[in-house]
Amino acid sequence: IFPWIPTQSAMDLVRPLIAFLLVACGASVPTRLVSRNNVRLHSYPSIVQRLSRQIVRSMASRRDIGRGLSLSLGGILGSSLGHSHARQMLQSSELNTINVFKRSIPSVVFIDTFIQSSRGGFSMDPVDIPAGTGSGFVWDRDGHIVTNFHVIRNAQTAKVAISDPKLKNVNTYQAKLVGFDPDKDIAVLKVDAPQSVLRPLQIGTSADLDVGQGAIAIGNPFGLDHTLTVGVVSGLGRQVMAPSGRPIFNVIQTDASINPGNSGGPLLNSDGEAIGINTAIFSPSGASSGVGFAIPIDTVKTIANTLIEKGQVLRPQLGVSLFDTAALKAFGVDIDGVAVLQVAPGSPAEQAGIMGMSRLSTGDLQIGDILINVGGDEIKVESDIFKALEKHQPGETIDVVVLRSGKERIDFKVKLGQARLPGSSFGTSTPPSIGGFHGS
């Protein structure tokens, strides 16, 4: 081949080059070699290994220049094979999760909450005492941050930490409270941050979710910022209790690990779109048990936009307290419906003539009215009443049907009142009351 080099030496130099080309092809083309007799041979990597061993044995007895070329080529081959093998080990789903996480980091925030107290001694200057931590995410470029109400309900002030994708650092901003909805466990904060820092999270929909599809949770459990956990949507249509004591409907169940500090962070689909807000876990110990819950994003969109526009969410009220349905059946009343325990004075229910339970002179309880239909929706359990009322607005007149004394059917026209929502100590100078809501 080369006149000044013996033929055998030339082959010794060419064979490593052939091996290198085989490696390059083998890394991208998974085709197998076939011999002249149409007999299937080993795949490229196997051929390379055998050929390399033969080359090394041959080069050991050849000139130094050949040995040097073999050693240099061996380093290149090892590096190429190692890199190719590492990339092949990552599945497409893993690469997608990595990309979703990287895109979402600037949008997921860390929330520190505080209560204020005096320094003591001769100083009356207030000092911030940490009250808790949580998560949230950027809603828009106006600086609105969406989180859970229970993250901020016992706080007087809060700080929001946002990752700056350009400067590769974290900036902390004082937060203002825009509004909250304890019935849905949603709150909206606002920070005065430059638009270059504010990266709104991509919002999806929860209307077309399927059990088994991927779910990605990002938050700050135990104060560990930007922690990612992966799972699936484990169930749909679940029900959890809000801080106000009302049920939240159509909640998403997931096995993506959710721990204290994850509250308020987003639950994402495989496209990186928010499908819910992580809000609760089912666990006797308080740690993740593989059963987590997220408020559906379609509910969040409605509440968050209302809070941003009006500062509050108005809900209708009948003005009744309810008797437990299971206890009602224990009294021998086996009918579908919910018994009215008490009627609030001056409430829409009292004005319409709805009656609660009363105690007879004998000391026995007398069952009053049993709600069987509210606004055209059948009532079988307590949560049905809240679900029915969510379809209406304060001031609206609806039909309410009851059974009196368990047999007489009565129809009422009820003009709904406005529910009084629990308050929050956020932004006040008064510490929250223990075990409840300040100002409720």
**What is d(CA 43, CA 403) in angstroms, rounded to the nearest whole number?**
80
Write down how long the chain is: 440
Residue 85 annotated among the catalytic residues of the structure: no
The separation between CA 222 and the C-alpha centre of its own chain, rounded to angstroms, equals 16
**CA 269, chain centre distance (Å):** 10
Residue 185: active-site member: yes
**Token duo for residue 156:** 């007087």
Kindly name the residue from 150, 163, 206, 425 that is annotated as catalytic.
Answer: 150
Q: Which of 12, 185, 225, 255 is catalytic?
A: 185
Rounded distance between C-alpha atoms, residue 430 and residue 117, angstroms: 9
Q: Coil, strand or helix: which one is 402?
A: strand
What are φ and ψ of residue 53, in 5° steps? -65, -40
Catalytic residue among 70, 206, 244, 263: 263
Helices vs. strands in the chain: H and E counts, helices first: 9, 24
- Are 142 and 190 in contact by the 8 Å Cβ rule? The answer is yes
Can you tell me the distance from the alpha carbon of 207 to that of 390, in angstroms, rounded to the nearest whole number? 18
Long-range own/partner contacts, residues 91-99 (CB < 8 A, 24 or more apart): 93/214, 93/270, 96/270, 97/216, 97/228, 97/230, 97/270, 99/272
Angstrom distance (rounded) from CA 415 to CA 398: 6
Catalytic (active site) residue 150: yes
Looking at the annotation, which residues are catalytic?
150, 185, 263
